[in-house]
Amino acid sequence: MSHYQVLIIGGGTGGITVAAQLKRKNKSLSIGLVEPSDTHYYQPAWTLVGAGTFDFEKTKRKEVDYIPKGVAWIKDYATGFEPEKNTVFTKSSGNITYDYLVVSPGLVMDYSLLPGLEEAMKTDAVGSVYTDPKKFWSMLNNFKGGNAVFTQANTPIKCGGAPQKIMYLSEHFLRKKGIRNNTNVIFATPGTVIFGVKEIAKTLNKIIIDRDIIFKTYYAPIKIDAENKEITFRFMNSHLQNCAMVVDNKIGEDIVGESDIKMKYDMLHLAPPQRAPDFIRDSPLALQDDPNKGWVSVDINTLQHTKYPNVFGLGDVVALPTAKTGAAIRKQAPVVVGNILHLMKENTLDKPVYEGYSSCPLVTGYGKMVLAEFKYNNVRDSDPLISKFVDTTKEQFSMWLLKKYGLPFMYWNLMLRGKA
């Protein structure tokens, strides 16, 4: 049976960043990293791929090139945990034991949670930058007009801003193509507002009005009929007695029953339903009876597991009241690393805590971006250096350059190397 001082589950952004930072701070640590994939993707650029302004091949790198030197790569699937015995089960590498465990396997798309989605995704009219950005770019190119509907599942999703980013880019593309006048661009969200941070929402609401985007709140998708090109939403606002109050005949909406609304689409983009992987959901590490059921239970500030003190979690798989983004991981990783090293040395946690920082580079068109940075309770939390030179709550060309060139460079060369 293999044993490591630190065992990391997941070789995505969280796992690699933690491994790299640990090795930089203590080269002698024995670290194992469980990850089955050969390829590492820079997924934040997939929105740009879907709008034809980034090369998909440039979002791919070999996983082996980013496993830090001295870290043992266990190229396998984790299948379960026995935290009382400090043990992880794997598909084909046997059981592995650890002194400290870091859990960061990301999340999975689950089409089965939205009836009709699996069939719809095989058609030419439905796609997602979350799963196949090249297909969506092809759909956008071939679109001739009608209802262009952008929506998202009523589950936690990674990069919560992506559904509206691709909507803004698509709207801009349709204007450039000259078919915007015969297109209804519709953004339908289960949420109550366009964005949770007040200062950012103010900018985005103005963009929606100025660009004649049809904005629907409380719209949770519940069914897709690919044959008839229809999507059905459940209207989630219990304060309005009748969804007839919000139905828009201009875009061909129909009321179904008391609280459902059917809408025709000619092109449909959505963030699919997302959840924690099965081996996490079925484990003692996951919350069992909670609105966050299935996600890893950690202290929101220390990222230490709420039951097992030698287990830490970060990234998309943990139950935290903030957005699931790579930017969040950048602030979470040093807290996990600091706590593990401090526990090893002093048997206490380190002082720095995670305050919920996340950021959403909201691309609002070709050459334009709003940088939303925030922490717990949707409190704005802008970078003090950037804020000296630029108002990140307004559309900026400089922020577009950051998104397209700066952030990918920082990701591959600094973050995954444990330097940022």
Do 288 and 266 lie in a common domain?
no
Do 339 and 296 lie in a common domain?
yes
- Catalytic, out of 120, 159, 226, 280: 159
- Catalytic, out of 149, 271, 360, 363: 360
Q: What pLDDT score was predicted for residue 91?
A: 98
Picking from 256, 273, 290, the residue at the C-terminal end of a domain is 273
Do 295 and 180 lie in a common domain?
no
- Looking at the predicted structure, is the pLDDT value of residue 258 above 90? no
Do 74 and 216 lie in a common domain?
no
- 7 strand-pairing partners: 32, 101
With a CB cutoff of 8 Å and minimum separation 6, the contacts of 389 are none
Do 102 and 188 lie in a common domain?
no
Distance CA 349, CA 389 (A): 36
Domain with 204 in it:
110-273
Q: Could you give the C-alpha distances from 40 to 64, 67, 308, 314, 403, in angstroms and in order? A: 9, 10, 30, 18, 19
Domain count, the chain: 2
Per the annotation, the verdict on 360 as an active-site residue is yes
Distance CA 277, CA 295 (A): 9
The tokens for 92 are 């084909």
Q: What pLDDT score was predicted for residue 209?
A: 97
Picking from 242, 273, 304, the residue at the C-terminal end of a domain is 273
Model confidence at 242, pLDDT cuts 50, 70, 90, reads: low
Q: Beta-carbon neighbour count of residue 244 at 10 Å?
A: 12
- Looking at the predicted structure, is the pLDDT value of residue 388 above 80? no
Do 115 and 45 lie in a common domain?
no
- Residue 326, Cα to own-chain centre: how many angstroms? 8
Do 234 and 324 lie in a common domain?
no
Q: In this structure, what CATH number is given to the domain that contains residue 11?
A: 3.50.50.60
Do 267 and 303 lie in a common domain?
no
- Residue 368 falls inside a structural domain: no
Rg (the chain; Cα; Å): 22
- 270 strand-pairing partners: 151
- Residue 370 falls inside a structural domain: no
Q: pTM (2 decimals)?
A: 0.95
Distance CA 53, CA 47 (A): 9
More reliable by pLDDT, 38 or 381: 38
Each residue's pLDDT tens digit, 286-319: 999 888 999 999 999 999 999 999 999 999 999 9
Per the annotation, the verdict on 243 as an active-site residue is no
Each residue's pLDDT tens digit, 202-216: 999 999 999 999 999
